[in-house]
């Protein structure tokens, strides 16, 4: 894309039609940093600063850092185990969910074959299936990946069917009349039209995969952040519990950011500004 093209787009974005009143640049980020700093200061004050909260109930920042210092090799292994399981199950489950959703949106037979099965399984919280999964697949990676993939599959299949059905029929008709075959019309209209909703679904699925896999690790695993937290809780090792929780938060945040960055270009047309 030429530079002048980029300039034009910037000019369009800055036109009165799309610009709303905005506070000064970066002030939002400053506010966010300030609120984080406040929380950490408050944490320190309530724990080691004043001792109002006993470390049995909530550890101080120094206790957490100290445990991080002597625990990090195990922590790194557990973090990696959880992250890999989440990413693998999320990729497999989402891909299968989107494929099944597109098939259901497209084919009458596929829709009526799959709809009842999906509707029957969908209300079941995936965590409730953990005992069966352990029974069938053991406490290794496979069971957790199956469970995470199942969760993502359910999210994506429903998301894909609903968003495909919401694409305005006039787009398909216009594409057909402009000379696209049915398959080409489907590929060049439905897929791009539902992409923003697919990205939302992928983000929801990623968060769900973390929840399900950590829960499964708590019940039975050889490694993983869920197992780490569960073991620590048996000895009331609250700094490690907190450490595990924080790492889960960081991992989930990183994955979410990656999805957003990767999808940014292809969903820009639907953003409210930009």
Summarize as ranges the residues that interact with other proteins (CB under 8 A).
1, 5, 8-9, 12-13, 15, 17-18, 168, 170-171, 173-181, 184-185, 188-189, 192-193, 195, 268-270
Question: What's the length of the chain?
Answer: 274
Least Å distance, CB 54 to other proteins, is 55
Least Å distance, CB 67 to other proteins, is 49
Closest CA to 214 of 182, 172, 247: 247
Least Å distance, CB 95 to other proteins, is 21
Nearest CB to other proteins, comparing residues 40 and 184: 184
Nearest CB to other proteins, comparing residues 15 and 70: 15
Least Å distance, CB 179 to other proteins, is 2
Residue 55: count of CB within 10 angstroms of its CB: 14
3-state secondary structure of 180: coil
Nearest CB to other proteins, comparing residues 114 and 167: 167
Nearby residues of 201 by Cβ (< 8 Å), 6 or more positions away:
94, 155, 156, 159, 160
Least Å distance, CB 198 to other proteins, is 12
77-80: long-range contacts, CB 8 A cutoff, minimum separation 24? 77/223, 78/223, 78/224, 78/225, 78/227, 78/228, 78/244, 79/225, 79/247, 79/251
3-state secondary structure of 78: helix
In order, the DSSP letters of 34-60 are HHHHHHHHHHHIIIIIT--S-TTTS--
Q: How far apart are CA 186 and CA 195, in angstroms?
A: 13
Ramachandran class of 269: left when φ > 0, alpha when ψ lies in -120 to 50, beta otherwise: alpha
Nearest CB to other proteins, comparing residues 19 and 107: 19
Nearest CB to other proteins, comparing residues 36 and 264: 264
Nearest CB to other proteins, comparing residues 6 and 115: 6
Least Å distance, CB 212 to other proteins, is 32
Nearest CB to other proteins, comparing residues 61 and 192: 192
Least Å distance, CB 15 to other proteins, is 7
């Amino acid at each position: 894309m030429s530079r002048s093209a980029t300039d034009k787009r910037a000019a369009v974005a800055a036109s009165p039609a799309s610009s709303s009143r905005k506070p000064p640049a970066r002030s939002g980020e400053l506010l966010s940093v300030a609120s984080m700093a406040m929380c950490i200061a408050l944490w320190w004050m309530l724990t080691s600063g004043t001792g109002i909260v006993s470390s049995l109930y909530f550890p101080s920042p120094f206790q957490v850092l100290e445990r991080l210092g002597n625990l990090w090799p195990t922590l790194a292994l557990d973090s990696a185990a959880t992250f890999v399981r989440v990413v693998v199950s999320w990729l497999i489950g989402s891909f299968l969910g989107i494929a099944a959703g597109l098939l259901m949106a497209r084919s009458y037979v596929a829709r009526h074959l799959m709809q009842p099965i999906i509707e029957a399984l969908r209300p079941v919280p995936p965590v409730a299936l953990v005992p069966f999964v352990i029974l069938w697949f053991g406490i290794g990676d496979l069971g957790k990946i199956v469970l995470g993939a199942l969760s993502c599959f359910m999210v994506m299949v429903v998301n894909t069917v609903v968003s495909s059905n919401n694409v305005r029929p006039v787009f398909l008709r216009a594409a057909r009349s402009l000379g696209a075959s049915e398959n080409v019309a489907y590929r060049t209209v439905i897929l791009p039209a539902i992409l923003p909703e697919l990205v939302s679904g992928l983000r929801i699925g990623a968060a769900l995969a973390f929840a399900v896999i950590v829960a499964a690790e708590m019940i039975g695993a050889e490694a993983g952040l869920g197992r780490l937290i569960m073991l620590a809780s048996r000895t009331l090792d609250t700094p490690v519990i907190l450490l595990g929780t924080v790492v889960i938060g960081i991992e989930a945040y990183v994955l979410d950011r990656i999805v957003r960055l990767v999808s940014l270009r292809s969903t820009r047309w639907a953003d409210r500004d930009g």
